Chain A
Amino acid sequence: MQIHLDTMLVTLTVAALIIGFSLWLRGKIIAGAPRGAQNAVEALIGFVNDTVRDNFPVHNPIIAPLALTIFVFVFLCNCIDILPAYLLGHTAHLLGIEHFRPVPTNDLNLPVAMAVVVFAMVLYYEFKLKPGHFVKELLLQPFASLLLDSKNPVVKLLGVLLIPLNLTLKIIEELAKPLSLSFRLFGNMFAGEVIFLLIAMLLLVGSLDELASFGGLLSEVIGFFVGLGWSLFHMFIGLLQAFIFMILSVVYLSIAHQPAEH
Chain B
Amino acid sequence: MNIDLTFVGQIIVFVAMVLLLKRLLYAPINDAMEARTKKIEDGLAAASAGEEARLKAEAEAEKRIAEAKHQAQEIVAAAERRAAELQEESTLRARKDAAAIVDAGKAELEAEKNRARQELRAEVAAISMAAAEKILGVELDASRHSALIDEAISKELA
Q: A residues bordering B, Cβ < 8 Å?
A: 1-4, 7-8, 11-12, 15, 18-19, 21-23, 25-26, 29-32, 34, 38, 41-42, 45-46, 49, 62, 64-66, 68-69, 72-73, 104, 107-110, 112-114, 116-117
Q: By the criterion CB–CB under 8 Å, are B24 and A19 in contact?
A: yes
Interface contacts beyond A4-B6, A30-B32: sample of 7 additional A-B pairs, CB < 8 Å, sorted by A: A3-B5, A11-B13, A68-B26, A69-B18, A69-B21, A109-B10, A116-B11
> Smallest distance from the beta carbon of B2 to chain A beta carbons, Å?
8
Q: By the criterion CB–CB under 8 Å, are A29 and B5 in contact?
A: no
Q: By the criterion CB–CB under 8 Å, are A29 and B28 in contact?
A: yes
Q: Jot down 30 A-B pairs with beta carbons below 8 A, ordered by A.
A: A2-B6, A3-B4, A3-B5, A8-B6, A18-B25, A19-B24, A23-B24, A26-B24, A26-B28, A29-B32, A31-B35, A34-B32, A38-B29, A41-B29, A42-B32, A45-B26, A45-B29, A46-B33, A65-B27, A66-B18, A69-B14, A69-B18, A69-B22, A109-B3, A109-B10, A110-B10, A112-B3, A112-B7, A114-B10, A116-B7
Given contacts A69-B14, A113-B11, contact A22 B6 (CB under 8 A): no
Determine the chain A residues whose CB is within 8 A of the CB of B92 once the complex forms: none
Determine the chain A residues whose CB is within 8 A of the CB of B22 once the complex forms: 62, 65, 69
Determine the chain B residues whose CB is within 8 A of the CB of A65 once the complex forms: 18, 21-22, 26-27
Give the docked Cα–Cα distance between A23 and B29 (Å): 12
Chain A: CB-nearest residue to B19: A65
Determine the chain B residues whose CB is within 8 A of the CB of A114 once the complex forms: 10, 14
- Categorize the interface residue count of chain B: 20 to 34
Chain A: CB-nearest residue to B1: A108
The answer, yes or no, to whether B71 is at the interface (CB within 8 Å) is no
The answer, yes or no, to whether B36 is at the interface (CB within 8 Å) is yes
Main secondary structure of the interface of A (DSSP, over half): helix
Chain B: CB-nearest residue to A48: B26
The answer, yes or no, to whether B30 is at the interface (CB within 8 Å) is yes
Q: By the criterion CB–CB under 8 Å, are A72 and B21 in contact?
A: yes
Q: By the criterion CB–CB under 8 Å, are B7 and A109 in contact?
A: yes
Give the docked Cα–Cα distance between A34 and B30 (Å): 12
Give the docked Cα–Cα distance between A18 and B23 (Å): 13
Give the docked Cα–Cα distance between A113 and B3 (Å): 9
B20: which of A22, A41, A109 is its contact (CB, 8 Å)?
A22
Determine the chain B residues whose CB is within 8 A of the CB of A31 once the complex forms: 32, 35-36
Q: By the criterion CB–CB under 8 Å, are A22 and B33 in contact?
A: no
> Smallest distance from the beta carbon of A67 to chain B beta carbons, Å?
10
Determine the chain B residues whose CB is within 8 A of the CB of A21 once the complex forms: 25
